[in-house]
């Protein structure tokens, strides 16, 4: 669940300006009694009265989006005056906000702290560096929070309160939630609501209480706190469209935790209307997950494009914070679309590099567990695809290709073991089993059954039963039976699988298209093993229509009976397809008819005569057939046909360009910040949709 952190820097800037004006006489006055002057633009680091010309020069460069110049000016200032806290802070601010380089920003912030290190307000006032001292403490709290050191973040908040007397209670909730100290977070939020009239502080407090309510394994009985997050004085529907993106995405998460899919989508659609570069919550990420779950692939493909536009407009530090989320949701879509190699690359990148999870309350281990799970599935799918392609090679090359593919299988196993280790904690696993657990990383419901295979059906069954007793599935038992289906399949217990699968299909929300497809496929496998050919064919077809890539992800094959028109080209294609792991050549399977006249074509039908799919070779693939080596060329053509047929049958049919797939990996945040001005046309087009 994202959390909004709107800094009170401008408010304190006015306070400090007043203190500087009235001098030490303010030392005996209660800070809360001081009347704040109206802030005047332009601001420099949140202050309207900064007089240092070098600081103003850096701010001017930042305001004009001259980021390289801002970096050069601040670095030169530090080189010439390393003992100046303003210089150290200015460089830290450029590193953080322009480049998203938290580690180097932290270094210079610590230098600035060492150069100030005031213990009282009087000392800060007399030093002449009061602005830079406060800004340093504020940013140190923020950066430590982003980097996962919540105790240090709270310590710096306490320093601000002790020295400046500022009420920082509303900022304590988020670090406490990240530490999973929910009771302390609840107490902090209630103190804010009891003592503060500030609208923003109260909104933070309600958001904290919303997260605390959702911390329980059971779905919340009331959405009161989460509703109040959006509007402390009224109902959600009374608000205008300028509500913070974070609060709208939080509301969508609450709705999802209550299995109100339509309401969740409505909040997300509302959040996408206005680009919000400062928000750690990208509504297109959550919307893309929702659309994929529901099998609405055309809309998901469009959402992917919109997500990239939104990402390009984000501030660099925000891009660093939610980079893993963009990688993981993109990996999920590419996996479904059949671009399994790129999916594996994205998931592995998210797993193997440090990242900040500032946009959700889960810890690093949860992000890593999801990345490892997605990476394992994507690598296994890549292994399966490699076997499909090897089927079209000559004998020796085929064996070598299969041997080489084992490296992918080993990589999939390794990342799977890593995911299993991260999921092994009982509390983590129990929370993970709850549908749409709102305080956890967003693992798609159609992917979560993979956890059963990684950890073991026995362990998951024990945890599943306890989670069920604790109320995790009280809103819909279909999810419970979906897990039981997966457990029964892995145990080879067909007598338990059938009733569990039927219950799951009866109870699961209709919107859970991909999860229902997985249950259906497990039921089809059981029916086929029992010799129920007609029933199994219908179930195979139903699962394939909803999620064609499911067969590759699970390493399963379609039972088919292959026939040809007797031509050599069709026979060559039939032999290749029979060697593919996606097809099981057997009596009683679906009819797979291959003919070469007028062009090479394959059609898949049920025994009832219902046509599932027909694919004709792209005519451009046959243009290279020569006259003197026609046998070899025909074999190559058959292999090309097999490759294309697999892509068409077990993918979504979207042609995602290599340039777009490379773009999904992201670009340098420095480059992103420098080119934001060039993206305005894209942004305007986006808002015009």
| Average pLDDT of the chain to the nearest whole number | 84
Residue 491 lies in a domain: yes
CA distances from 427 to 432, 470, 475, 544 (A): 8, 12, 20, 35
The more confident residue out of 94 and 4 is: 94
Do 453 and 589 belong together in one domain? no
**Of 213-217, 264-268, 430-434, 549-553, where does mean pLDDT reach its minimum?**
213-217
Residue 629 lies in a domain: yes
pLDDT, residue 120, reads: 93
Residue 235 lies in a domain: no
Q: Which of 215-219, 220-224, 232-236, 313-317 has the highest mean pLDDT?
A: 313-317
Average of per-residue pLDDT across 75-89: 96
CA distances from 624 to 485, 631, 641 (A): 49, 13, 14
Do 514 and 563 belong together in one domain? no
Backbone angles phi, psi at 583, to 5 degrees: -130, 135
pLDDT, residue 265, reads: 96
- pLDDT (tens digit per residue) in 447-494: 999 999 999 999 999 999 999 998 889 999 999 999 999 999 999 999
Residue 209 lies in a domain: no
Asked if 256 and 436 touch (Cβ cutoff 8 Å), the reply is yes
Euclidean distance between CA atoms 276 and 279, whole angstroms: 6
pLDDT, residue 321, reads: 79
Euclidean distance between CA atoms 363 and 431, whole angstroms: 13
**Of 103-107, 232-236, 290-294, where does mean pLDDT reach its minimum?**
232-236
Q: Within its chain, how far is the Cα of 598 from the centroid? A: 47
Q: What angle do CA 335, 339, 344 make, to 5 degrees?
A: 65
Token readout for 526 is 């059981």
CATH number of the domain within which 393 lies? 1.25.40
Token pair 């050599």 is at which residue?
568
Q: Does pLDDT of 552 surpass 80?
A: yes
pLDDT, residue 362, reads: 54
**Of 337-346, 575-584, 665-674, where does mean pLDDT reach its minimum?**
665-674
Average of per-residue pLDDT across 373-390: 97
Token readout for 552 is 């590759």
Residue 220 — very low, low, confident or very high, per pLDDT cuts 50/70/90? low
Do 476 and 584 belong together in one domain? no
Do 390 and 519 belong together in one domain? yes
Environment class of 626 (CB within 10 Å of its CB; exposed 0-12, middle 13-18, buried 19+): exposed
Domain that holds residue 443: 343-553
Q: Name the domain boundary from 501, 536, 553.
A: 553
pLDDT, residue 197, reads: 87
Q: Give the helix/strand (H/E) hosting 560.
A: strand 558-564
Do 529 and 608 belong together in one domain? no
pLDDT, residue 13, reads: 47
Residue 48 — very low, low, confident or very high, per pLDDT cuts 50/70/90? confident
Do 564 and 548 belong together in one domain? no
pLDDT, residue 275, reads: 83
Residue 429 — very low, low, confident or very high, per pLDDT cuts 50/70/90? confident
CB environment 17-51: b (16+ within 10 A), e (fewer): bebeeeeeebeeeeeeeeeeeeeeeebbbbbbbbe
Residue 121 lies in a domain: yes
Euclidean distance between CA atoms 190 and 637, whole angstroms: 71
Residue 353 neighbours by CB distance under 10 Å: 11
**Of 218-227, 390-399, 486-495, where does mean pLDDT reach its minimum?**
218-227
Average of per-residue pLDDT across 432-457: 89
CA distances from 419 to 335, 440, 559 (A): 18, 15, 32
Residue 512 lies in a domain: yes
Q: What is the pTM of this model?
A: 0.82
Residue 73 lies in a domain: yes
pLDDT, residue 290, reads: 96
Do 585 and 440 belong together in one domain? no
Residue 525 lies in a domain: yes
Average of per-residue pLDDT across 335-364: 77
Do 524 and 384 belong together in one domain? yes
The more confident residue out of 554 and 658 is: 554
Token pair 């890549």 is at which residue?
382
Residue 609 — very low, low, confident or very high, per pLDDT cuts 50/70/90? very high
Do 531 and 575 belong together in one domain? no
pLDDT, residue 354, reads: 58
Q: Strands of 611-616's sheet, edge to edge? A: 583-585, 558-564, 590-595, 601-605, 611-616
Do 518 and 586 belong together in one domain? no
Token readout for 550 is 């499911």
pLDDT, residue 218, reads: 62
Q: Kind of pairing, strands 558-564 and 611-616?
A: unpaired
Q: Does pLDDT of 555 surpass 80?
A: yes
- pLDDT (tens digit per residue) in 158-196: 999 999 988 899 999 989 988 888 899 999 999 999 998
Asked if 581 and 388 touch (Cβ cutoff 8 Å), the reply is yes
Do 35 and 54 belong together in one domain? yes
CATH number of the domain within which 9 lies? 1.25.40.10
Residue 411 — very low, low, confident or very high, per pLDDT cuts 50/70/90? very high
- pLDDT (tens digit per residue) in 479-533: 999 999 999 999 999 999 999 999 999 999 999 999 999 999 999 999 999 999 9
Q: Name the domain boundary from 146, 166, 186.
A: 166
Alpha helices in 215-260 (DSSP H): 224-230, 245-257
**Of 286-295, 562-571, 625-634, where does mean pLDDT reach its minimum?**
625-634
Q: Name the domain boundary from 138, 166, 194.
A: 166
CA distances from 147 to 172, 207, 350, 369, 641 (A): 16, 21, 16, 18, 50
Q: Which of 179-183, 222-226, 246-250 has the highest mean pLDDT?
A: 179-183
Do 55 and 125 belong together in one domain? yes
Asked whether the CA dihedral 349, 352, 358, 362 is positive or negative, the reply is positive
Residue 674 — very low, low, confident or very high, per pLDDT cuts 50/70/90? very low
Q: Within its chain, how far is the Cα of 44 from the centroid? A: 34
The tally of domains found in the chain comes to 3
Euclidean distance between CA atoms 106 and 325, whole angstroms: 24
């Amino acid at each position: 669940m994202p959390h909004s952190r709107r800094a009170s820097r401008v408010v304190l800037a006015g306070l400090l300006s007043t203190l500087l004006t009235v001098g030490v006489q303010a030392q005996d006055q209660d800070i809360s009694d001081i009347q704040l002057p109206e802030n005047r633009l332009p601001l420099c680091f949140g202050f309207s009265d900064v007089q240092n010309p070098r600081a103003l020069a850096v701010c001017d460069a930042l305001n004009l989006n001259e980021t390289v110049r801002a970096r050069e000016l601040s670095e030169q200032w530090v080189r010439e005056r390393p003992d100046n806290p303003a210089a150290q802070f200015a460089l830290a601010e450029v590193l953080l906000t322009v480049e998203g380089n938290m580690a180097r920003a932290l270094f210079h912030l610590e230098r600035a702290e060492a150069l100030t290190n005031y213990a009282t307000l009087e000392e800060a006032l007399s030093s002449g560096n009061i602005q830079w001292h406060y800004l340093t403490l504020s940013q140190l709290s923020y950066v430590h929070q982003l980097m996962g050191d919540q105790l240090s973040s709270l310590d710096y908040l306490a320093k601000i309160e002790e020295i400046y007397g500022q009420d920082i209670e509303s900022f304590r909730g988020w670090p406490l939630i990240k530490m999973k100290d929910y009771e302390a977070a609840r107490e902090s939020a209630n103190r804010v609501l009891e003592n503060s009239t500030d609208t923003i502080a109260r909104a933070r407090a309600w958001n904290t209480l919303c997260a605390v309510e959702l911390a329980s394994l059971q779905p919340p009985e009331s959405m009161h706190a989460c509703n109040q997050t959006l509007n402390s004085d009224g109902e959600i529907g009374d608000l205008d469209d300028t509500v913070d993106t974070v609060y709208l995405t939080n509301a969508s998460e609450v709705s999802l935790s209550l299995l109100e899919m339509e309401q969740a989508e409505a909040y997300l659609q509302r959040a996408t209307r206005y680009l919000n570069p400062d928000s750690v919550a990208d509504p297109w990420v959550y919307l893309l997950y929702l659309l994929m779950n529901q099998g609405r692939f055309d809309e998901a493909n469009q959402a992917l494009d919109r997500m990239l536009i939104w990402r390009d407009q984000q501030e660099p530090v925000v891009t660093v914070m939610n980079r893993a989320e963009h990688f993981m949701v993109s990996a999920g879509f590419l996996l479904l679309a059949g671009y399994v190699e790129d999916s594996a690359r994205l998931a592995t990148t998210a797993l193997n590099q440090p990242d900040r999870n500032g946009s959700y309350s889960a810890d690093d281990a949860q992000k890593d567990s999801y990345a490892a799970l997605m990476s394992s599935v994507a690598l296994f799918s890549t292994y399966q695809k490699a076997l499909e392609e090897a089927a079209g090679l000559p004998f020796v090359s085929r064996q070598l290709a299969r041997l080489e593919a084992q490296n992918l299988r080993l990589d999939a196993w390794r990342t799977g073991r890593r995911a299993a280790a991260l999921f092994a904690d009982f509390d983590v696993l129990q929370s993970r089993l709850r549908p749409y657990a709102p305080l956890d990383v967003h693992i798609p419901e159609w992917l979560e059954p993979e956890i059963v295979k990684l950890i073991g059906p026995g362990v998951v069954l024990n945890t599943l039963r306890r989670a069920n007793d604790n109320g995790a599935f009280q809103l819909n038992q279909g999810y419970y039976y979906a897990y039981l289906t997966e457990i029964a399949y892995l145990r080879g217990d067909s007598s338990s699988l059938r009733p569990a699968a039927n219950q799951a299909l009866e109870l699961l929300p209709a919107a859970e298209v991909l999860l229902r497809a997985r249950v259906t496929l497990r039921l089809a496998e059981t029916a086929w093993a029992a010799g129920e050919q007609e029933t199994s064919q219908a179930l195979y077809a139903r699962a394939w229509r909803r999620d064609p890539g499911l067969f590759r992800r699970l390493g399963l094959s379609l039972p088919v009976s292959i026939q040809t028109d007797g031509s050599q080209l069709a026979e060559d294609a039939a032999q290749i397809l029979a060697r593919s792991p996606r097809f099981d050549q057997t009596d009683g399977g679906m009819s797979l008819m291959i003919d070469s006249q007028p062009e090479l074509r394959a059609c898949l039908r049920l025994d009832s005569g219902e046509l599932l799919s027909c694919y004709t070779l792209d005519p451009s693939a046959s243009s290279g057939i020569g006259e003197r080596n026609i046998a070899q060329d025909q074999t190559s053509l058959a292999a090309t046909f097999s490759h294309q047929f697999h892509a068409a049958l077990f993918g979504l049919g979207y042609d995602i360009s290599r340039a777009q797939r490379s773009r999904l990996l992201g670009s340098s945040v420095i480059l992103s910040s420098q080119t934001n001005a060039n993206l305005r046309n894209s942004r305007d087009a986006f808002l015009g949709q």
